[in-house]
Amino acid sequence: MLLADAESCYSEEMAPASQSVTPSLSPSPPPPLPPQASTAARWTDLVPPHCQRCHLYTGSGNKDDEESCPVICEREMHSLHRNVPALRRRDVDTSTIRQHYYPEGGWGWIVCGVGFLVHLLTSGLQLSFGLLYLYTLHHLRDASPMDAAWLGALCLAVSMLTAPLVVALCRRKSTRLTAVFGGLVMALACLFTSFAQQLHQVVLSYGVVLGVGTGLVRETSSLMLGHYFKRRREFVEMVVQAGAGVGIALFSVLYKEAVGKLGWRLGLQAVTGVLALGFFLGVLYRSASLYHPQRRAILHLKNQRKKVKEKKDSVGAPRKPPFLDFSPLRIRAVQMLLLASSTAALGLYTPVFYLALQGYKEGLEDSALVLMQTFMGFATALGCVGFGLVVVRPSDQCLISRQYLCQAAMVGVGVSLLALSTVQGYHGYVLFVWLYGVCLGGFLYSLKMFTMERVRARYFTRTWGFVQGAEAIPVLLGVPITGYINQSHPKAGYYFSFLSTMLGAALLFLVGFPKRHRTPTDVAPCSCSSASPARPPLPKSISFATT
């Protein structure tokens, strides 16, 4: 039915062209159509008025667009030009078919809401490990505090390490299928953890399997946002990243009410029921190409592509791109960004894992510990929104670059870590969690926006995957190192976290600024006496479809 609609639409759109073209091998070019009857003009009439302002319909390609889901590649269009007579007309503009279409709304707002829930279930689950750390020590009585500390760090590190692999997998396979599979793995991992009775079982189920599941679910959400939004990407990222803070608050309360009152097995099974929502969230992902204004023509061209495949005997099979593309790593700014983020990750996340244990050792009640974790979650969400508003709505009187925002967040985290080594009592910890949470949320948002600013949009998904992958090993090592130092010298491990965070903030200065493209006015005039006066640049050729 869909293919029939595509062919009927194609025949209606290309009727004037097909009537004047003979089936000979070298048909003569037909007379040009008047401007009001051109195919490109009639296709543009099908586009809503708010979409016609997009760069997609100007007839000029943008090399900075997302390349994760191309519609029809250049090689296939060249093959179709030779076999589909209607595409050989000079008045047919096919540039918009080869470009990615950003709906900038519509179903994209559903995807944005799904991304908020995804970060609530993934990042919120991982960053609220502090209370689960206490229940783990109570359940695994033979495990030492430092042995159990590896669980939270391992889960977070594995999810970060899988980010480049998930991006590469989604470029070849279905993003929706990957998200659904990740939601299933995440729920099953938590269910298996509820039956674990020994440390190595918890390490395998919670540390490794749950980390893989959260990585699959979280990265597919980021990829889908990139398919739907470009102009509003900063705003939707602010909304999505705030879900991590809300998740910290909700899961902290859930751990106390479920695991604390029902026990380890029944409590984690209740958490599994919440995580099962991630399995159904992936079903809501739709390809952005479904909303392309020329979708019917694209479907028909894809059907023709299957009929005009080149013979594999005469022409070899096309060379597939590598599974992992390391081309963004050749950029110097990306290299410095990886170095800075990995250095800061050595101590940036340590209070998330040790704050509840430290308060428990000082005699704070369980309700006070839950309130501290809840305040940290709300502060993280507030930090994402606050730093996001600075990026989304910049002031004309005070412009703050994204690099300085990221550095300010890292310095704030460092100052709070330095203060954590001296604070005591419930009120002191409350002041700390608000300062640390706001700066942590600002760091999570500003680092991603800073990465987007320093690389082209076509490299952003792969670069962001490498940035998260670079933080994996430092998180896995930095959290236990801080714990071991704290065991021998109480609260002295936070000095190590402070130094690593401040060093990472200083290394961001080496990222540099984006290169400014040279214009004809930047070229110095020739000093030769025989040189002719400079002529103005010739205008670009104009497509027949726009005349």
pLDDT band at 132 (very low <50, low <70, confident <90, very high): very high
Query: Does the pLDDT at position 407 exceed 90?
Result: yes
Average confidence (pLDDT) over 75-91: 51
For residues 365 and 367, give the distance between their C-alpha atoms in angstroms, rounded to a whole number: 5
CA-angle at 253, arms to 248 and 259, nearest 5°: 115
Q: Which amino acid is at 350?
A: T
Report if residue 410 sits inside a domain.
yes
pLDDT of residue 40 exceeding 60: no
**Taking CA 268 as the corner, what is the angle to CA 369 and CA 123, rounded to the nearest 5 degrees?**
65
438 with 412: CB under 8 angstroms? yes
Across 139-143, 279-283, 378-382, least confident range: 139-143
* pLDDT class of 95 with cuts at 50, 70, 90: low
Q: How confident is the model at residue 322, as a pLDDT? A: 73
Handedness of CA 422, 423, 429, 435 (dihedral sign): negative
Q: Report the C-alpha gap between 532 and 440 in whole angstroms.
A: 60
Token pair of 509 as six digits: 């200065």
Residue 108's pLDDT is what? 86
Q: Is the pLDDT of residue 149 over 60?
A: yes
First to last CA, the chain: 36
Closest CA to 459 of 58, 64, 29: 64
Q: How far apart are CA 65 and CA 227, in angstroms?
A: 10
Q: What are the pLDDT digits (tens) for 279-323?
A: 999 888 887 766 665 666 666 566 666 655 554 444 455 566 677
The pLDDT confidence band at residue 101, using thresholds 50, 70 and 90, is low
Residue 175 in domain: yes
Residues 319-348, mean pLDDT to the nearest whole number? 86
The one-letter amino acid code at 230 reads K
Q: Within a domain: residue 304?
A: no
Give me the residue label for tokens 């996001």: 388
The reported pLDDT for the residue numbered 514 is 54
Name which of 242, 268, 517 is nearest 387 in CA terms: 242
Residue 309 belongs to a domain: no
- Residue range of the domain that includes 431: 107-294+325-511
Residue 524 pLDDT > 60: no
Q: At what angle do helices 145-161 and 163-172 cross, to 10 degrees?
A: 30
418 within some domain: yes
Query: At a CB cut-off of 8 Å and minimum separation 6, what does 286 contact?
Result: 107, 111, 176
Q: What does the pLDDT read at residue 490?
A: 86
Token representation of residue 11: 């025949």
Provide CB contacts within 8 A for 122, sequence distance 6+. Answer: 159, 186, 214, 217, 218, 247, 278
Residue 53, pLDDT above cutoff 60: no
Across all residues in the chain, what is the average pLDDT?
A: 77
Q: Is the pLDDT of residue 356 over 80?
A: yes
Q: Residue 153: which pLDDT band, with cuts at 50, 70 and 90?
A: very high
CB atoms within 10 A of CB 312: 9
Q: Is residue 384 part of a domain?
A: yes
pLDDT for 2-38, tens place per residue? 444 444 444 444 443 333 333 333 344 444 444 433 3
pLDDT for 68: 45
Calculate the CA dihedral of residues 242, 374, 122, 262 and round it to 10 degrees. Answer: -150
Is 498's pLDDT higher than 90?
A: yes
Average pLDDT for 214-226 = 91
CB 207 within 8 A of CB 154: yes
N residues, the chain: 547
Instruction: Give the residue-averaged pLDDT of 419-442.
Output: 92
209: domain CATH number is 1.20.1250.20
Task: Give the lowest-confidence range in 59-68, 194-203, 224-233.
Answer: 59-68
Residue 498's nearest CA partner among 329, 309, 350 is 350
3-state SS, residue 163: helix
Would 159 be classed as within a structural domain?
yes
Whether the pLDDT of residue 79 is over 90: the answer is no
Q: What percent of the chain has pLDDT over 90?
A: 46
Q: Would 398 be classed as within a structural domain?
A: yes
Number of domains in the chain: 1
3 state DSSP class of 417: helix
- Asked if 244 and 441 count as a contact pair (C-beta separation under 8 A), the reply is yes
Q: For residue 190, what are the CA distances in angstroms to 57, 207, 346?
A: 48, 10, 27
Residue 198 backbone dihedrals phi, psi, to 5 degrees: -125, 165
Average pLDDT (524-541) is: 45
